[in-house]
Chains A and B, each alone.
Chain A
Amino acid sequence: MREYLEIYLCFLKIGSIAFGGGYALLPILQKDLDENRHWATTEELMDYFAIGQCTPGVIAVNVATFIGYKKKGIMGALAANLGFLTVPVILILIIAAFLSNFAELDIVKHAFGGIRVCVCVLIIQAVLRLWKKSIVDKVTLAMAIIIFLLAAVPLPFSVPTALLVVLAGLCGILLGNETRSLKDGDPS
């Protein structure tokens, strides 16, 4: 029981600071789950993000389910889910009931102007830190650049993110060398 409570509280905290969409969550998860609690390695977190991208539902909730399940099975996954959802649901209920003009309040606008800058910096730092773990050779470097361009540059047609992830997985199966994914890769 104590362990479920611990999972619930951990994700309660993460859910209450999960601003700016799923990806902004990665630096927070990395700090809490890898460095502080050792519930999952950074590599595992990245894998969960990639899978969460091509399965139904919200990425952040999917990552919470993965971690909870890994820790304590289905009940652990449930605890993580409920923990993650508690604060966002309560906040929206309060806003819906009392603060219909919440997003237009000056203090809210200014605060989130600042928070968005912080989220942006957190994401950049996460990318810098994760670089070494995912870009292990020329093949992965080329893949990362192509996917970044397809996802970031406005194109006349839009490529669904889920499709990009599935294709990346297939490329890995075709081109990958499984020993490389575990070690540092060939230096050539």
Chain B
Amino acid sequence: MILIRLILSFCKIGLFSIGGGMATLPFLYELSAHTHWFSYQDIANMIAVSESTPGPLGINMSTYAGYVTAGIPGGILASLGLAFPSFVVIIIVSKFLERFKNSKTVQKAFYGLRPASIALIAAAGLNVAKTSLLNTELFSTTHQIGDLFLIKPILLAVFLFIGQKKWKLHPVLWILAAAVIGILFQF
């Protein structure tokens, strides 16, 4: 019956974590404390693994926790459990949007939502830039401006930026190229 408990636990996390992967974290800590299915150390490891694999942190974490608790079926069912509540909610929202697509109120709401969307994306971009292009840790101890900038990643960023303007390739090719360059030049 561990499988049913797994599904229900991750359903609950899926229902209450609003606003993306990191929002699942407090719930995961709580689940760990209650059930001991996985440890705090497992969660910390998983954040690192999640950053190095595709897929959202919440899903990665539920797969991992499900696997350590109940093997492969556990991993699959926990992930589906996490995705299920949002699936139902989005279907309901979609039906609502379909019906009220042309209402003035909905149109006006979108007028406000789009700048919010772009601002949040830009903020996320800034966060990625901070961790990939800058060395804030070293800078905060040395206060040497030269220590703040990571030269190799910044050069790669400039190359990618110009390259993407010039050649309209699929983003996945750029991601692959960046991975290869990262390995070759020891990022």
Q: Which residues of A approach B to under 8 Å, CB–CB?
A: 13, 15-24, 26-28, 31, 43, 46-47, 49-62, 65-66, 69-70, 74, 77-78, 81, 85, 87-89, 91-93, 95-97, 100, 102-104, 107-127, 130-131, 133-136, 140-141, 143-148, 151-152, 160-162, 164-165, 168-173, 175-178, 180-182
Contacts and interface: CB of A to CB of B under 8 A. Distances in A.
B2 interface: no
Given A97-B67, A103-B51, A58 B83 contact: yes
Q: What are the 7 tightest A-B residue pairs by CB atom distance, in nearest-first order?
A: A172-B112, A114-B182, A57-B86, A88-B55, A113-B187, A168-B116, A118-B178
B145 interface: no
24 contacts: A17-B171, A21-B21, A22-B56, A23-B124, A27-B171, A50-B110, A57-B15, A58-B20, A87-B55, A92-B53, A92-B75, A95-B49, A111-B183, A112-B182, A113-B187, A116-B128, A117-B153, A134-B117, A136-B111, A144-B118, A165-B116, A165-B120, A169-B109, A178-B111
Contact of B20 (A21, A173, A178): A21
Given A92-B55, A115-B182, A148 B119 contact: yes
B140 interface: no
B8 interface: no
Nearest to B182: A114
B1 interface: no
B83 A134 contact: no
Contacts, number: 370
Given A23-B125, A57-B17, A87-B54, A92 B83 contact: no
Interface string B78-109: 01101101110111011000000000110111
B121 A28 contact: no
B19 A127 contact: no
Given A144-B115, A151-B119, A181-B108, A112 B51 contact: yes
B52 A17 contact: no
A127 B113 contact: no
Given A22-B20, A92-B49, A92-B60, A114 B156 contact: yes
B55 A96 contact: no
Given A92-B60, A112-B52, A176-B112, A103 B118 contact: no
